[in-house]
Amino acid sequence: MSSENPISNSSLIQRPRRLRTNPALRSMVQETQLTVDDLIYPMFVMEGENQKVEISSMPGCYRYTLDLLLAEIKQVKELGINAIALFPLIPEAKKDDIGKESYNPDGLVQTTVKAIKQAVPEILVITDVALDPFSIHGHDGIVNDKGVILNDPTVEVLVKMAISQAEAGTDIVAPSDMMDGRVGAIRQALDAAGYFHVAILAYSAKYASSYYGPFRDALDSAPKFGDKKTYQMDAANAREALKEVALDIAEGADIVMVKPALAYMDIIYQIKSTTNLPVAAYNVSGEYAMIKAAAQQGWIDEKKVILETLTSMKRAGADLILTYFAKEVALMLH
């Protein structure tokens, strides 16, 4: 006999617990499903051969030389992951004040994209469009002698970078720089050069966030002076995110992104309800590092926390999630 007597509570008609009785019922009424198809795996490439260096603030993530990167990408594809986002570590000697290396047809990104397209043609390649890994000062744009980040001259370089990535065979270009008007300029230039099929994943609502710290370690790209607050958004603003998204859509974005994800779930939710475009969320390096650190201490159940966190991002409205956990999640979902 159950210790709970239903008679004593007969006035209770709605009992939400009925649908939580067993796993079969729970999975029937589950509203959000996290699948491998939703995941994009950010990966770091560096010059050289036969090397793989773990990023100390991102345990389990590595910078790879091209040969080892290709082997890794084959495994990533075998796990069912459809897309990678590529970030380069540029040697100091190749950096300058306007990021010329970013549009070198034989540069690290361009060579890497070509090689990936040869070796693993089915994987989608997303390339980053921003100056920070290429510039001596670590900012996403060109800086004048007063330390001001110049918008329109930067957009000219970003356009060259996007075109050179398209020439190399990238599937999607992803401007992460937050300059005004760059999506429109890149779309026009891609079309004029015949790259109608190359899509734009716009970092539309990208916040000036302290959650990017470990990524900047990975690429050695932390700004040498000041911060990124004159181009990335203020964490306190939500309506401004909707304005940025509307502009990027008008300029031709195919997918809009919110970054970071975890502290910005309300932004993901609001953007999802105002656009029909796919919405991406970037589960950034600091979010990854926090979970890894707590798990290493034995303070949380890592696998469960990862799944709960990424499922919540989907529930908030993300269709796609860039995450350093992609491989681990793919293994868990298999």
Tell me the catalytic residues: 206, 259
Contacts of 136 (CB under 8 A, 6+ apart): 92, 95, 96, 97, 224
Binding residues for Mg(2+): 244
Q: Does 323 bind ligand PBG (CB under 6 A)?
A: no
Mode of pairing for the β-strands spanning 124-129 and 172-175: parallel
Asked whether 216 and 128 are in contact (CB, 8 A), the reply is no
Buried b (16+ CB within 10 A) or exposed e, 2-25: eeeeeeeeeeeeeeeeeeeeeeee
Please spell the DSSP secondary structure of 206-270, one letter per residue: EB--GGGHHHHHHHT---SSS-STTTSBPTT-SHHHHHHHHHHHHHT-SEEEEESSGGGHHHHHH
**Rg of the chain, C-alpha, whole Å:** 22
For ligand PBG, the closer of residues 179 and 190 by Cβ is 179
Q: Does 212 bind ligand PBG (CB under 6 A)?
A: yes
| List 176, 204, 270, 275, residue binding ligand PBG (CB under 6 A) | 176
Q: Does 258 bind ligand PBG (CB under 6 A)?
A: no
For ligand PBG, the closer of residues 67 and 217 by Cβ is 217
Helices assigned H by DSSP within 124-181: 151-168
For ligand PBG, the closer of residues 270 and 285 by Cβ is 285
**Rounded to the nearest whole angstrom, what is the least distance from the CB of residue 128 to ligand PBG in the complex?**
6
Q: Does 101 bind ligand PBG (CB under 6 A)?
A: no
Q: Specify which residues 279 forms β-bridges with.
A: 256
Q: Does 130 bind ligand PBG (CB under 6 A)?
A: yes
**Rounded to the nearest whole angstrom, what is the least distance from the CB of residue 286 to ligand PBG in the complex?**
6
Q: Does 41 bind ligand PBG (CB under 6 A)?
A: no
For ligand PBG, the closer of residues 42 and 317 by Cβ is 42
| List 270, 285, 309, 323, residue binding ligand PBG (CB under 6 A) | 285
Buried b (16+ CB within 10 A) or exposed e, 131-161: bbbbbebbbbbbbeeeeebebeebbebbbbb
For ligand PBG, the closer of residues 38 and 132 by Cβ is 132
For ligand PBG, the closer of residues 193 and 294 by Cβ is 294
d(C-alpha 79, C-alpha 120), whole Å: 13
How many residues in the shown chain lie near ligand PBG by CB under 6 A?
Answer: 12
CA dihedral 316→319→320→321, nearest 10 degrees, is: 10
Map residue 133 onto helix, strand or coil. Answer: coil
Q: Does 284 bind ligand PBG (CB under 6 A)?
A: yes
Candidates 25-33, 194-202, 210-218, 291-299 — which segment interacts with ligand PBG by CB under 6 A? 210-218
Residue 148 has what DSSP assignment?
P
State which amino acid sits at residue 104: N
| List 55, 79, 88, 132, residue binding ligand PBG (CB under 6 A) | 132
- Residues 137-166 binding ligand PBG (CB under 6 A) are 140
| List 44, 134, 195, 215, residue binding ligand PBG (CB under 6 A) | 215
Candidates 11-19, 59-67, 208-216, 271-279 — which segment interacts with ligand PBG by CB under 6 A? 208-216
d(C-alpha 319, C-alpha 257), whole Å: 10
**Rounded to the nearest whole angstrom, what is the least distance from the CB of residue 9 to ligand PBG in the complex?**
50
Residue numbers at the binding site for ligand PBG (CB under 6 A): 128, 130, 132, 140, 176-177, 212, 215-216, 228, 284-285
